[in-house]
Amino acid sequence: MSKKNVAVVGAGLVGSLHAILLAKKGMKVDVFERRPDLRKAEVIGGRSINLALSNRGFKALEMAGIADEIRSISIPMYGRKMHDLEGNLTYQPYGKDDEAIYSVSRGGLNQKLMNLADDYSDVQYRFNHKCLDIVLDKNEIFFEDTSENKEVSYTYDHIFGTDGAFSAVRGRLQKTPMFNYSQEYLSHGYKELVIPPNEDGSHRIDKNCLHIWPRGKFMLIALPNLDGSFTVTLFFPMKGEVSFESIKTKEDVMKFFNETFPDAVPHMPTLETDYFENPTSTLVTVRCEPWNYEDKVLLMGDAAHAIVPFYGQGMNSGFEDTSVFSEMYDDESEDMLKLFEDFSEQRVPDGNAIADLALYNYIEMRDLAGDKDFLLRKKIERKFSDMYPSKWMPLYSQVTFSHIRYSDALKAGEKQRKIMDEIMEMENIHNNWEDDSVMEKIMSKVQ
């Protein structure tokens, strides 16, 4: 049988990983990317942008055979460290013992995936190719070849759309009957800033946790980089009294940061300049359905489900798309139409669930992470979970450390929330939380 000839449109994180997994299944893969080869770019970004990688992502990387290598260039973060207005710190572990999420460079990870894909003779990258349109009945893709300044087209057995939140591939499917689509911007955007390393290259603050400055309506977070720096992100309203719109001058920046994040300011010597040089970006949730068009086109990653970044699951869920596809392919490769349809049917509810969870987690991170009731709630949950691990896995662990379907985790989390609402209503719970009666009550509710 001749090899399947497939296209992956978009050589971001998900597209590059998917290309490897498809080549491993014996397919011939052309990967199209509108940008130049990022490995040849003279200056890669200038700023370090990082992402939190967790178990779902690692599973797909393991399938590609690159998990250990990526782990070795990432920094484990074992919990959240909350900074209050006075600079007091509260620590909350993410999971048990050595469970961690891993801070990894976005550019570094993308490059490693591309290098690995290049090792497969059946994978060919075509950079500077911007997807313009697809003629679906022929499965012919039209590109603008920006280096040659001409239009080209290619035909494939199957096309995978991994071209991100503003996907051109999805744009084509949006014009087909019965394709549902929604896009919703968060009223908050973000700006990336930096905490540089100490002079000796060490980290200025604890590198093995994710730092959060929760301030109710907004927050600042910091994730460590290997070079001793931290990528700091301000999530902030786009408009309004206290917002990106209202901060206009260097004086405004310093006044706002000194009043709001006083213990971070001494670590951010280039804050004034960075604030105005670095872009303000928006955050969008995209949902659509189905993710396939017959057996011709399949959407994955942000092209299928762009989500806000507050659960650290955007890339992880996209990587999970590739591992789930790979597993399903082993059983259903004889009938690609059924495979594409089954994949869409299974993954759409999971994409919607992680979109909801991510939106909720923004409130948890910015508003509740510094809240006494919230911290106690987490402590009680953890105690019960330690005593009866088979009866209670905290929602964060289900999402981050397990491979339970997101849609099941969402349902289980809802049930847990109701139980914990009742527990928090118990008399004098802040003093009595260690009483046996609390654990007994949870057990009675769980059963």
Ligand X SMILES: Cc1cc2nc3c(=O)[nH]c(=O)nc-3n(C[C@H](O)[C@H](O)[C@H](O)COP(=O)(O)OP(=O)(O)OC[C@H]3O[C@@H](n4cnc5c(N)ncnc54)[C@H](O)[C@@H]3O)c2cc1C
As measured in angstroms, the least distance from the Cβ of 10 to ligand X is 3
Q: What whole-number distance in Å separates Cα of residue 291 and Cα of residue 272?
A: 43
Show the CA angle centred on residue 100, arms to residues 98 and 102, nearest 5°: 135
Nearer to ligand X, 268 or 286 (CB): 286
> The tokens 């014009």 sit on which residue?
175
Stretch near ligand X under the rule CB under 6 A, chosen from 148-156, 288-296, 307-315, 348-356: 307-315
Should residue 224 be labelled a site residue for ligand X when binding is judged by CB under 6 A?
no
Show the tokens assigned to 280.
Answer: 């303000």
Report the nearest approach of ligand X to the CB of residue 304 (Å).
8
Shortest separation between residue 415's beta carbon and ligand X, angstroms? 25
Residue length of the chain? 447
Supply the minimum distance, in Å, between the C-beta of residue 371 and ligand X: 23
The one among 35, 39, 47, 441 contacting ligand X by CB under 6 A:
35
Measuring CA to CA, which residue among 271, 302, 274, 277 is closest to residue 288?
Answer: 302
Contact status: 286 vs ligand X (CB under 6 A)? no
Minimum distance, C-beta of residue 143 to ligand X, in the bound complex (Å)? 7
Of 29-37, 79-87, 91-99, 201-209: span binding ligand X (CB under 6 A): 29-37
Tell whether residue 441 is a contact of ligand X (CB under 6 A).
no
Closer residue to ligand X (CB): 162 or 385: 162
The count of chain residues that interact with ligand X, using the rule CB under 6 A, is 31
* SS3 call for 217: coil
Which position among 189, 224, 309, 394 is part of the footprint of ligand X (CB under 6 A)? 309
Q: What is the distance of C-alpha 183 from the center of its chain?
A: 17
Query: How many angstroms separate the CA atoms of 256 and 262, rounded?
Result: 9
Name which of residues 73 to 132 contact ligand X (CB under 6 A): 130-131
Which of 232, 315, 324, 353 binds ligand X (CB under 6 A)? It is 315
Instruction: Evaluate whether 161 touches 9 at the Cβ level (below 8 Å).
Output: yes
Query: Taking phi first (over 0 means left), then psi (-120 to 50 degrees means alpha), and beta for anything else, what does residue 127 get?
Result: beta
Least distance (Å) between residue 283 CB and ligand X? 6
Residue among 263, 211, 285, 339 nearest 85 (CA):
263
In the complex, minimum distance from the CB of residue 168 to ligand X, in angstroms, rounded to a whole number:
4
From 19-27, 285-293, 298-306, 348-356, give the range in contact with ligand X by CB under 6 A.
298-306
Between residue 172 and residue 191, which ones bind ligand X under the rule CB under 6 A?
Answer: 190
Chosen residue from 7, 8, 9, 64 binding ligand X by CB under 6 A: 9
Q: Among positive and negative, which fits the CA dihedral 146, 45, 209, 97?
A: positive
CA distance 143 to 156: 14
Residue 161 in the binding site for ligand X (CB under 6 A): no
* Tally of CB atoms within 10 A around 157: 16
Tell me the β-bridge partners of 126: 32
Interaction residues for ligand X, span 323-382 (CB under 6 A): none
Query: Judged by CB under 6 A, does residue 12 bind ligand X?
Result: yes
Q: How far is the CB of 51 from ligand X (least distance, A)?
A: 4
Is residue 222 a contact residue for ligand X (CB under 6 A)? no
Which of 20, 22, 32, 102: binder of ligand X (CB under 6 A)?
Answer: 32
Rounded CA-CA distance 215/220 in Å is 8
Q: Which residues pair with 399 in a beta bridge?
A: none
Taking the least distance from each CB to ligand X, the nearer of 9 and 220 is: 9
Q: How far is CA 320 from the centre of its chain?
A: 11
**Is the separation of the CB atoms in 17 and 319 below 8 Å?**
yes
> What is the C-alpha to C-alpha distance for residues 305 and 347, in angstroms, rounded to an integer?
10
Q: Is 313 in the site for ligand X (CB under 6 A)?
A: yes
Q: Are 427 and 370 in contact, with CB atoms under 8 Å apart?
A: no
Which residues would be at the binding site for ligand X (CB under 6 A)?
Answer: 9-15, 32-35, 51-52, 130-131, 162-164, 168, 190, 233, 301-303, 309, 312-316, 318
